[in-house]
Amino acid sequence: MFDNVNGVELTVFAVLFAAVSALGFVAARWRKAETLEHLDEWGLGGRNFGSWITWFLIGGDLYTAYTFVAVPALVFGAGAIGFFAVPYTIVVYPILFLVLIRLWSVSHVHGFVTPADFVRARHGSSTLALLVAITGIVATMPYIALQLVGIEAVLKAMGVTGHVPIIVAFAILAAYTYNSGLRAPALIAFVKDALIYVVIIIAIIVIPYKLGGWDVIFGAAEKKFAESPNPADGVLLPGPAQLQYATLALGSALALFLYPHSITGVLASRDRNVIKRNMAALPAYSFVLGLLALLGYMAIAAGIKPITNNAGKVDSNTIVPLLFDNMFPSWFAGIAFAAIGIGALVPAAIMSIAAANLWTRNIYKEYLNKDATPAQEAKSSKIASLVVKVGALLAILALDPQFSIDLQLIGGVIILQTLPAVAIALFTGWFHRWALVAGWAAGMLVGFLTLYQIQQKVFGPDGTVTIAKQHFGGSAFPLSKLGFDTTTTIYAGVLALLANLVVCVVGTWILRAVKVPDGEDTTRTSEYFADRDDPRVHDVPEVVH
């Protein structure tokens, strides 16, 4: 387990990891409330986070450890297509600005904790709310598991093998999340983001200097992709991949704010102005993400070779840790590894809390215990958060990590199908509830059918093409399968969402024409603009300083 381990790197990593874990337990006394036995406190941090806390919380939530290793790895392996993450995290914030302030207002008036709570009130449909809750939980589970990929890649780079360290790390995560709720990742996010910024700024200065400058870096990348037998690879995006790039960026942007953990961070904010300021400032993270992506090209110039396991399978996610290991002294490499490892703790905690809240409010309370007290709700969420983490841990231990990545890919297509019921419903209640159910089903069906038909191809150095995976081999759906004479591909999630929206519109027209009763909308237009000083906004338990 500890053969050929760099002792300095492991020591620095372990000390920083232990320090932030202790911080997670201390967080229960930070901005202390009268009780944590309430979802507003345990699951939403008292709904009282200001601009700075929200900045770090949402940033730490959306920019995960997996992002830090996977985006550069994709750039390393395929080139320009890996930069899709940069425009999508820029495009998303104007959308969030428009959508989430309305969700904050109506949620604070009615005391909503989850997006499914809003759906239940807006459409008067417990069935639709249940579907949204299940969709959120299913889409989030592999996302939590993937945070382990970042930790695993760091451990491999340090020479640590086996599953015991990962199990210990997630056991600690589970313990302080259970104890402190959302306050734990909110407090740890300060440390995580500070480390990430320091590491990236130093990396973007030191590594190019050591490699001989940006001319050398881009020259090495251009040479590699010019020799690649895969026509989709390149420093510049080839024509057939451009539609895939654009639709993947747009689809990912729409999916990002629909994930329950994104909404949890927003609902914990103190008022609408906090959200507005954060949506205006958070693109700064996208600048850092662009710098992160360039690490993929640096790894090419540095001649980094990813680690292969005993079965000879390449783990491309080890590219960035290996680059740091080669370019930095051991003590700073340990800090960089800690930044990635800690970067897994924040989003994993928020994701598990968000999934647990969906279970509690929209399944447990709706169907199992309608008269649940706030304390019972909090207890249910705490237990559910443990179950979610255990499930994610078992998934990553039992499955090929690449399969977990595929599950997350499917998760993005899945969560997109809640857009009509959640995001569009914040602006109009026109859709009929049963049309939304039918649209959700249609989107799911089209999503799975398109993903099922996507093959994963491996291009040999002699130009030969072999099929590594017959089904679920990516997200780029060939338009040729729809009868078009082209090699252009498109993001499967966009096709599924289009099918969803068409069924929602047509279904609503039909259902209203035959006068099928719709659900009762218990929200009011003015509630979507309520701010903190509005008397309709629910009070939360008082904070004890």
Tell whether the model's pLDDT for residue 46 goes beyond 80: yes
Average pLDDT over residues 246-254: 90
Structure tokens at 139: 């889409």
Determine contact, residues 151/545, Cβ cutoff 8 Å.
no
Residue 526, in any domain of the structure: no
Where do we find the tokens 């009130």? 121
Containing domain of residue 324, as a range? Answer: 7-28+36-430
DSSP 460-487: -TTS-EEEEESSS--SEEEGGGGT-SS-
- Per the prediction, the chain carries an average pLDDT of 87
pLDDT tens profile 374-400: 899 999 999 999 998 888 788 777 666
Where do we find the tokens 């983490």? 389
The per-residue pLDDT for 309 is 66
Nearest to 245, CA basis, from 484, 510, 476, 451: 476
- Work out how many domains the chain is built from and give that number: 1
Q: What is the pTM of this model?
A: 0.91
- CATH classification of the domain holding 214: 1.20.1730.10
Residue 440, in any domain of the structure: no
pLDDT confidence of 473, banded at 50, 70, 90? confident
The per-residue pLDDT for 463 is 67
Determine contact, residues 425/123, Cβ cutoff 8 Å.
yes
CA separation for the pair 175, 181 (Å, rounded): 10
Tell me the Cα Rg of the chain. 23
The per-residue pLDDT for 543 is 43
Tell whether the model's pLDDT for residue 183 goes beyond 60: yes
SS3 (DSSP) at 538: coil
Please report, rounded to a whole number, the percentage of residues in the chain having pLDDT higher than 70. Answer: 94
Residue 95, in any domain of the structure: yes
pLDDT tens profile 303-332: 999 888 666 677 788 899 999 999 999 999
SS3 (DSSP) at 492: helix
pLDDT tens profile 110-140: 999 999 999 999 999 999 999 999 999 988 8
Residue 315, in any domain of the structure: yes
Total Cβ atoms within 10 A of residue 383: 15
pLDDT confidence of 221, banded at 50, 70, 90? very high
Where do we find the tokens 């647990």? 356
Residue 74, in any domain of the structure: yes
CA separation for the pair 397, 343 (Å, rounded): 20
Residue 283, in any domain of the structure: yes
Residue 89, in any domain of the structure: yes
Decide: residue 485, CB within 10 A, 0-12 exposed, 13-18 middle, 19+ buried: exposed
Average pLDDT over residues 503-510: 97
The per-residue pLDDT for 407 is 65
Residue 470, in any domain of the structure: no
Q: How far is CA 282 from CA 96, 183, 279, 341, 525, in A?
A: 11, 20, 6, 22, 28
pLDDT tens profile 137-161: 988 888 888 787 788 888 888 888 7
pLDDT tens profile 347-378: 888 999 999 999 999 999 999 999 999 899 99
SS3 (DSSP) at 160: coil
